[in-house]
Amino acid sequence: MIEILAPCGSAESLFAALRTGADAVYLGGENFSARRNATNFTDDELKKAVFDCHVRGVKLYLAVNTILTDEQLKECAAYVKKACELGVDGLITQDLALVEIVKNCCPKMEIHSSTQMTIHTKNGAELAHDMGFSRVVLSRELPFEIIADISNLDVETEVFVHGALCMSVSGQCYMSAVIGSRSANRGLCAQPCRLPMSTKKGREDYALSLKDLCAIDCLDKLEKAGVSSLKIEGRMKRPEYVAAAVNAYKNKALKRDYDTTLLESVFSRSGFTNGYIEGKINSGMFGTRTKDDVVASSKALPKLHELYRKEYKRSRLKIQCIVIENKPVEIIAKIDDGIEVKATGDVAQTALNRPCDEQMLTKQLSKLGDTIYELESLSAKIVGNPAVSASQLNALRRELVEKLNDKRAEHNTKIVPFDMDKLCLDFKTTRTNKKPDIRISVTSLTQLEKVDINSIDMIILPLAIAKKAVAKGTYKSKIAVCMPRFTYDEESDIQTPRELKNLGIESVYCTNFAHLKIGKELGLKMHTDFGFNVANSLAIKNLCEVGISDYIASIELKASQINRLAGVKPKGVVAYGRLPLMLTANCPIKQSCGCENCKGKLYDRTGREFPVRCQKQHGYVEILNSEVLYLADKLHDFDVSFIKLDFYDESPDRVAQIINRYQNGVPSDMDKITRGLYYRGVK
């Protein structure tokens, strides 16, 4: 049976999820959880949560899914140790430091790659598997066919089926961080996509607000395709929402009836969408939460409470009673997984009135109302004329239930050993002591016309123009072919680096984990981009083991933190350009599948402009920052081996001029620039 996985942002939501039939839950602790504004669980609450889940045979996955800095590694390792000791069933992670911690200290702990890792292709899933992940939580933007393809691989897949849809592909959203220093990758997304944003200046639209997802109608085909787990989003939502969603999906999985209107009334944004899974990306996917939606929610509350008023039945009991006059009463309860418990009562006296019979035993022992058990069968051996009071039978029944619960919890809790001595956090930073090399990425070959190629270390070119450039042959040795950050057709994307490899190109510029697999297979030098969110030395160690040649540090780190990052491979930073604040599969300009290169901008309430770089021919769109990142006069603050300048629509003259300014440390000539997060950092 396919797993129904419920979000639990609080003890109340956990209660609701367990009592409506969730097969697994995910929740966060007080630290390292990507929902830092949810109530989350203290260590004691977590301990109780593990027990409550395991009694019911429910899996508990702990989200340790924020990006970590070096200063947090020790504390995070201690937290993983605690998780091992408490017997959680798996960790949901995005930072590669966790891969290192688990690999070295507790290799038996199951890890799932968070959707924050932006794994959305077969190569990505295979790489995750090679890295030690037993499950990948796929990006939400995939059509059914790709989900099915990935689910055929030797790694479990988890698919979002219900709840909020972010406009940005998870793990690639920097809007909240850049606008307000609240990092989505560190659990503090301020949800800027729900704020007014329009394609026309001065108009109040919500061009980035998607409806909520509901894929309940796809449940059967997802199950048939081999998907392991169906994930409900909503660690910030109330328990009634969790109850409604779990109830509907669980009933659907069991081919029972469920209340669709209840599901819609509990929370939606002008109804639901299933556009991604159906492969229909269009304007119908957009929506906001209306007054009607809110009224529907409050009206539905009493009905919703009813859903989890009683315990969900999970186990059938076979009860055997031995009641012999003048001997202690014995009751034995057995359940399916081989667990058997016994309760012994007082000596049964000779009955003065009505002696004990099977009917009386059944009546008292089947009162399993608010437990997870229901009576399957009862057999009784009654000898003589024994008397047993109803109150004694009730006490024995309660004792049996408690014993069964303890045994089930014990049976379902696997404590994984954790060896802290295996973790080395002794990193040595060495100073670079030289001027950083300059790498540039351009969007057209004409942008290179005025550039002194000899002064450039690397030219990063997207697939389409890399081929043309190689055909020209002039600066072939400097070209790194850049893979698309998101794709619906990786097979054809791979053709370009494969062909170019045969033509002598040595480098692939990786923008997604999948490219590490592709680069390795093609025998190309691999350079990782900012989208890997590399923020600590342990993650760098992991990437170096995978085989990268160098890396770009996370754009959410301060310069001082970047300088402290240690690793044997060269380190770089993004030093110029409009930072892509969002990577989206949905184009806010045309809101349709077929668009490509559509021109336009988004405007926020203050009139700030955000250029939209539509590359739907590659399957994605980038929403760029309103201001240009400029650091030419600040490079002395960075101890890095190379800097990357990202050109977007600059003229050939301007490209050459900017490079010159970076070579000579010249301050900006623009009215407004940004220093990114390199000085203010994120919360």
Name the site residues for Zn ion (rule: CB under 5 A). Answer: 587, 589-590, 595, 598, 614, 616
Task: Give min distance, CB of 516 to Zn ion, in A.
Answer: 29
DSSP string, 366-404: T--TTSSEEEEEEEEEEESSEE--HHHHHHHHHHHHHHH
Cα–Cα–Cα angle for 23, 123, 498, rounded to 5 degrees: 170
- In the complex, the smallest distance separating the C-beta of residue 599 from Zn ion, rounded to whole angstroms, is 9
Please report how close the Cβ of residue 193 comes to Zn ion at its closest, in angstroms: 17
Nearer to Zn ion, 90 or 588 (CB): 588
Q: Which is nearer to Zn ion, 433 or 597 (CB)?
A: 597
Residue number, 422 or 599, with CB nearest to Zn ion = 599
Nearest 5°: phi and psi at 42?
-75, 170
Closest distance between Zn ion and the C-beta of residue 613, in Å? 9
**Least CB distance to Zn ion at residue 499 (A):** 28
Amino acid at position 459, single letter: I
Helix, strand, coil percentages for the chain (3-state, nearest 5): 35, 25, 40
State the DSSP code for 351. P
Cβ proximity to Zn ion, 561 vs 615, nearer residue: 615
CB of 529 to Zn ion, least distance (A): 22
For Zn ion, the closer of residues 412 and 615 by Cβ is 615
- Give the 3-state secondary structure of residue 79: helix
d(CA 561, CA 408): 47
Toward Zn ion, which CB reaches closer, 578 or 616? Answer: 616
Which token pair is 81? 């140790």
User: Is the CB of 141 or the CB of 293 nearer to Zn ion?
Assistant: 141
Q: Is 144 helix (H, G, I), strand (E, B) or coil?
A: helix
Contact indicator for 375, 319 with CB cutoff of 8 Å: yes
SS3 138: coil
- Indicate left, alpha or beta for 623 from its phi (over 0: left) and psi (-120 to 50: alpha): beta
Instruction: Decide whether 157 or 584 has the Cβ nearer to Zn ion.
Output: 584
> C-beta of 143: minimal distance to Zn ion in Å?
18
Instruction: Compute the chain's Rg from CA coordinates.
Output: 29
- What is the closest distance, in whole angstroms, from the C-beta atom of residue 586 to Zn ion in the complex? 9
Smallest distance from the beta carbon of 603 to Zn ion, in angstroms? Answer: 17
d(CA 122, CA 253): 26
Q: Which of 80, 63, 58, 81 is closest to 27 using CA atoms?
A: 63
What backbone phi and psi angles, to 5 degrees, belong to 658?
A: -65, -45
Measured from the CB of residue 621, what is the shortest distance to Zn ion in angstroms? 6
- Taking the complex as a whole, how short is the minimal distance between the CB of residue 216 and Zn ion, in angstroms? 30
Tally Cβ neighbours within 10 Å of residue 426: 7
Distance of alpha carbon 524 from alpha carbon 27, whole angstroms: 39
Distance of alpha carbon 279 from alpha carbon 311, whole angstroms: 38
Residue closer to Zn ion, measured from CB, 544 or 593: 593
Whichever of 351 and 598 has its CB closer to Zn ion, that residue is 598
- Output the smallest distance, CB 615 to Zn ion, in A: 8
Taking the complex as a whole, how short is the minimal distance between the CB of residue 585 and Zn ion, in angstroms?
11
CB of 602 to Zn ion, least distance (A): 12
AA identity, residue 215: A
Q: Which is nearer to Zn ion, 300 or 587 (CB)?
A: 587
Closest CA to 83 of 412, 415, 406, 410: 415
Minimum distance between the CB of residue 591 and Zn ion, rounded to whole angstroms? Answer: 8
Three-class SS of residue 681? Answer: coil
- Of 56 and 590, CB closest to Zn ion: 590
- Residue 375 structure tokens: 């009576």
Distance CA 405, CA 400 (A): 8
Q: Which is nearer to Zn ion, 209 or 268 (CB)?
A: 209
Alpha carbon 88 to chain centroid, angstroms: 17
Amino acid identity for residue 113 in this structure: S
Shortest distance, position 205 Cβ to Zn ion, whole Å:
16
Give the whole-angstrom CA distance, residue 249 versus residue 230.
Answer: 9
281 vs 331 by CB, closer to Zn ion: 281
Question: Nearest distance from residue 620's CB to Zn ion, in Å?
Answer: 10
CA distance 645 to 458: 10
Cα–Cα dist 360/323, whole Å: 12
What does each C-alpha distance from 325 to 187, 285, 378, 383, 397 come to in angstroms? Answer: 64, 71, 19, 6, 20
Burial-class residue 173 by CB neighbours within 10 Å (0-12, 13-18, 19+).
buried
Helical ranges in 133-238 per DSSP H: 144-151, 175-180, 219-224
Which three-class secondary structure state does DSSP give residue 208?
coil
CA distance 538 to 565: 9
**Closer to Zn ion by Cβ: residue 199 or 362:** 199
Amino acid of residue 12: E
Largest CA distance in the chain: 109
Whichever of 370 and 649 has its CB closer to Zn ion, that residue is 649
What lies within 8 Å, CB to CB, of 86 at 6+ separation is: 43, 46, 47, 50
User: Which of residues 575 and 587 has its CB atom nearest to Zn ion in the complex?
Assistant: 587
Whole-number Å distance between alpha carbons of 168 and 190: 13
